[in-house]
A and B are shown apart, each in its own frame.
Chain A
Amino acid sequence: MNLPLTIKETREGLLKKKFSAVELVDEYLERIKKNSDLNAFLTLSSEIAYDKAKEVDKLVATGVSDNQYPLLGSALAHKDLFLTKGVRTTAASKVLESFVPQYSATVVQKYEAAGSIMIGKTNCDAWAHGASGENSDFGPTLNPWNKEYVPGGSSSGSAVSVAAGMSLLSTGTDTGGSIRQPANFCGVVGLKPTYGAVSRYGIIAMASSLDTVGCFARTVEDVEKMFIVTKGEDGFDSTVKNVESPRPRDVLKIGIPKEYFAEGLDKEVEKSILEVIEVLKKEGIEFIEISLPSTKYAIPVYYIIQPAEVSSNLERYDGIRYGNSRDYFGAEAKRRIMLGTYALSAGYYDAYYLKAQKVRSKLKEDFDKVFEKVDAIIAPVSPTSAFKLREKTSDPLQMYLADIYTCPANLAGIPGLAIPSGFNKKGMPLGFQLLGPRFSESTLFSLGKMYQEVTSYVPSLAII
């Protein structure tokens, strides 16, 4: 079967009877089986997938109008942080090795109502702690472009699933870069929405003032469709707000942050982004240099606030009502719980957590000021393209430093869209991200679609 690469191709193929939804599920499950060495999936939901596929095929037979079921027949993989009723959900931790949720997350329900087909649950860094996928208690996920490399993390399996054609779409969470960075390392599109744009109800919490729920696909158009399906208040997550997108300028203006294009940025990554800038300039987009002076404090602020909130959110895992005891936490979860507990403990709260929250205000203000002058920011996603397995596992601090271009967006609560821009000499994917003011996703989508359109972007699968 010629695998459909987008939501539109899937829908058209189904409606024109080129393939059935059941055949699609056959194909995806076969590809997952064939590529099981990538370790992208922790649990498959084959039975549910076939039931849903039959339902989709019935819908197709009886007729579907254009505005119904925007994700009709789209095979979807959920990061194993998303509660799925009746389907094991582990957070890639041995603590939840046999946990089966009694209800589904809001977004899981919304995706289902939109006509998509859940195919399984993807591997990730345990509790979403990591930037390489190597912190999973069920073994690392491998990069499908070259198995000696990491796929990025924490939403490692979700990025790999889309990159290798094991699902059409997938979901992720982004607390400090966990969608954008694996999207970047695997050559797919990844969206981190504005804080409070998408409900987190039923998603295992990491750091509650930073957590966002987003998605992966092969085109910006598809990620936009997924965002539209999932956004909005649900009455369960009280941080969600329905906000109209701010209106962009008539001539769009993009800022280039000088602090991001500095020492430490890989030359090939930089060159690729400069080429993207040239492409967009030809389309009439204006670029100006901007400054985000507090950038150097982003990592220390993030590695106080995030572990503090992690330690609080992981308190509930006591092994009494469900799951195993706290002895089952892996090394990285233990490190973060201890760091956070330390930062919140008597005598240290003011010096660490409160101080970090104050510096966070400065970081947020940097962005707010810049967005008075520009509609968006263009930036690298990670200082380098994908690195090799085990390259950074012995020194956690080195791994943390790689979050430098991603975690500021979480601290400021702004959206970020990671888009592929080619490959480096080693054949590993390159890319960039667009950041915008809070709730400006539609502007980022317009820019991203423009880029993919003028470059005649055709998604390629890592594994044929």
Chain B
Amino acid sequence: MAKLTKADVLHVAKLAKLNLTEPEIDKFLPQLSSIIDFVGQLDQVDTEDIEPTAQVTGLSNVFRDGEADLSKCLSQDEVLSGTDKVYNGLFKVPAILEGRTDK
């Protein structure tokens, strides 16, 4: 298996939307490396013709009718109760688009 590099750690942190400090990177790099080395031993296991297991009790898709049951829904106030960053009954989110600079 490939050796984990600082660039890998930064890449993965970016994918996971985590802001790491320099000391954190210094701490996590060797720790993550040793764990990845360790789990890499699965390499040696012969898994030819073996199906992967994602579900252990033999259930497949469980369906129900797509009917809205309002008794099982939270009210708008309840939904918004976890934050004070609210505007006109909606969540306020950070901007992902910036204003045009060509006008």
Other-chain residue from A102, A345, A364, A397 in contact with B56 (beta carbon distance below 8 A)? A364
A8 at the interface (CB under 8 A from B): no
Find chain A residues with CB under 8 A from B8 CB. 342
A300 to B42 Cα, complex, angstroms: 7
B66 at the interface (CB under 8 A from A): no
Is the Cβ of B18 less than 8 Å from the Cβ of A339? no
Is the Cβ of B54 less than 8 Å from the Cβ of A209? yes
| 15-66 of chain B: CB within 8 A of chain A | 15-20, 24, 27-28, 31-32, 34-36, 38-43, 45, 47, 50-57, 59, 62, 64
Is the Cβ of A196 less than 8 Å from the Cβ of B35? no
Which of A135-143, A261-269, A270-278, A327-335 contacts its partner? A327-335
Distance (whole angstroms) from the CB of B7 to the closest CB of chain A: 12
Residue of B nearest to A238 (CB): B62
Distance (whole angstroms) from the CB of A24 to the closest CB of chain B: 32
Known contacts: A102-B81, A303-B39. The answer to whether A361 contacts B12 by CB under 8 A is no
A195 at the interface (CB under 8 A from B): yes
Chain B residues packing against A (C-beta within 8 Å): 1, 4, 8-9, 11-13, 15-20, 24, 27-28, 31-32, 34-36, 38-43, 45, 47, 50-57, 59, 62, 64, 74, 78-79, 81-83, 85, 91, 93-94
Find chain B residues with CB under 8 A from A303 CB. 35, 38-39
Known contacts: A194-B57, A342-B8, A438-B57. The answer to whether A300 contacts B50 by CB under 8 A is no
Distance (whole angstroms) from the CB of B50 to the closest CB of chain A: 5
Find chain B residues with CB under 8 A from A358 CB. 45, 47, 50-53
Other-chain residue from B20, B31, B74, B94 in contact with A103 (beta carbon distance below 8 A)? B74
Chain A residues packing against B (C-beta within 8 Å): 99-100, 102-103, 194-196, 209, 235, 238-239, 241, 243, 297, 299-301, 303-304, 311, 315, 318, 320-323, 326-327, 329, 331, 334-335, 337-339, 341-342, 345, 351-352, 354-362, 364, 395-397, 400, 412-413, 438
8 A–B pairs (Cβ distance < 8 Å), ordered by A: A303-B38, A326-B17, A338-B13, A341-B15, A342-B12, A359-B50, A362-B47, A395-B31
Find chain B residues with CB under 8 A from A334 CB. 18, 20, 24, 28
Is the Cβ of A301 less than 8 Å from the Cβ of B38? no
- New contact pairs (10) apart from A100-B81, A356-B42, A364-B56, CB-CB < 8 Å: A239-B55, A239-B59, A300-B41, A300-B42, A331-B27, A334-B20, A341-B16, A357-B53, A359-B45, A438-B56
Is the Cβ of A397 less than 8 Å from the Cβ of B17? no
Distance (whole angstroms) from the CB of B66 to the closest CB of chain A: 14
A303 to B31 Cα, complex, angstroms: 13
Other-chain residue from B17, B52, B83, B94 in contact with A354 (beta carbon distance below 8 A)? B52
Other-chain residue from B17, B47, B62 in contact with A359 (beta carbon distance below 8 A)? B47
Is the Cβ of B42 less than 8 Å from the Cβ of A339? no
Find chain A residues with CB under 8 A from B56 CB. 195-196, 209, 364, 412-413, 438
A375 to B13 Cα, complex, angstroms: 46
Other-chain residue from A239, A321, A355 in contact with B57 (beta carbon distance below 8 A)? A239
Known contacts: A335-B28, A397-B34. The answer to whether A209 contacts B55 by CB under 8 A is yes
Other-chain residue from B32, B55, B57, B93 in contact with A335 (beta carbon distance below 8 A)? B32
Is the Cβ of B42 less than 8 Å from the Cβ of A359? yes
Known contacts: A297-B45, A342-B8, A351-B1. The answer to whether A335 contacts B31 by CB under 8 A is yes
Other-chain residue from B74, B93, B94 in contact with A102 (beta carbon distance below 8 A)? B74
Residue of A nearest to B80 (CB): A321
Find chain A residues with CB under 8 A from B85 CB. 320
Other-chain residue from B13, B38, B91 in contact with A300 (beta carbon distance below 8 A)? B38
A297 to B44 Cα, complex, angstroms: 10
Known contacts: A195-B56, A396-B31. The answer to whether A338 contacts B12 by CB under 8 A is yes
Residue of A nearest to B64 (CB): A235
A103 to B4 Cα, complex, angstroms: 42
A337 to B18 Cα, complex, angstroms: 9
Find chain B residues with CB under 8 A from A243 CB. 57
A304 to B42 Cα, complex, angstroms: 10
Residue of A nearest to B55 (CB): A209
A357 to B42 Cα, complex, angstroms: 11
Is the Cβ of B18 less than 8 Å from the Cβ of A396? no
A341 to B20 Cα, complex, angstroms: 15
Find chain A residues with CB under 8 A from B55 CB. 209, 239
Distance (whole angstroms) from the CB of B26 to the closest CB of chain A: 13
Known contacts: A334-B20, A337-B18. The answer to whether A241 contacts B59 by CB under 8 A is yes
Other-chain residue from A102, A329, A354, A356 in contact with B79 (beta carbon distance below 8 A)? A102
Other-chain residue from A311, A321, A362 in contact with B82 (beta carbon distance below 8 A)? A321
Residue of B nearest to A338 (CB): B12
Is the Cβ of B18 less than 8 Å from the Cβ of A361? no
Find chain A residues with CB under 8 A from B41 CB. 297, 300
Find chain B residues with CB under 8 A from A352 CB. 39, 42
A321 to B80 Cα, complex, angstroms: 7
A103 to B72 Cα, complex, angstroms: 10
Is the Cβ of A345 less than 8 Å from the Cβ of B18? no
Distance (whole angstroms) from the CB of B29 to the closest CB of chain A: 10
Residue of B nearest to A352 (CB): B39
Find chain B residues with CB under 8 A from A357 CB. 52-54
A135 to B15 Cα, complex, angstroms: 24
